[in-house]
Amino acid sequence: MLAVTCCALALGWTAHRATRQRDLIRSLAGGRSQVYYDFQVTADGALDPRRASPLPAWLVHSLGLDLWHDVAWIRLAGCEVTDATLAAVARLPHVEELHLVETSVSEGGLAALAQMRGLKVLTLNTPEVGDALVAQLAELPELRELEIFSALVTDRCVERLADCGTLERLWFEDTEVTERALEDFRVQHPNCRAGYSSPGFKTIAWRPRSLNAPSAN
């Protein structure tokens, strides 16, 4: 009896999580936003939007993708993102890559991102991002790549990221970050590619991943 109860609870929780994920995806439909599942992300982290689920097609069609697969990659672009949307995104446990591109969000909504403990790649191209928020993101244990586009970000942000030992790539654009601050960061993190762009000056250590996102068309 106990085993049956445990199985029923597990199935109920799985169905609830699938419904929550499906509803979020539906709310993001349209515009320039994009969502991809775990099977569309390759072993080296590249995105393959054309890859199909490895499960039998009849099984996927009958019960839906969200019961069997987790969302792993999200790009919200050119839209206003509510606090509720970001809170819902933060509750998805397997999202490894998130891009907020030319979006409008609140500071409270952005703070929810600090809960995404499995996040590896993050782009913040939104004017609300400031040094204090970045300090919270520095505590994400899996964060490897971070791109920030905001005039509110200063050298203080770079200093606060010094404790983030997992970073492999760091990019700043349209910020108040200076070369001196990045030089100090590179000394502390010699294995991290760090670059920035500002009026009249640009260092390109790599092409920012957010610029490589697949077309929404």
* Domains along the sequence of the chain with CATH: 2-212 (3.80.10.10)
- How many angstroms separate the Cα of 173 from the Cα of each of 55, 118, 126, 127, 146? 41, 25, 11, 11, 11
Cα–Cα distance for residue pair 72/92, rounded to 1 Å = 9
> Mind listing the pLDDT tens digit of every residue in the chain (217 residues)?
544 444 444 445 466 677 777 877 777 765 678 899 999 998 888 889 999 999 998 888 888 888 899 999 999 887 778 888 888 899 999 999 999 988 888 888 888 888 899 999 999 998 888 898 888 888 899 999 999 999 899 999 999 998 888 999 999 998 999 999 999 999 999 999 999 886 555 544 444 454 445 554 4
Q: What pLDDT is stored for residue 211 in this prediction?
A: 45
* The pLDDT of residue 104: 81
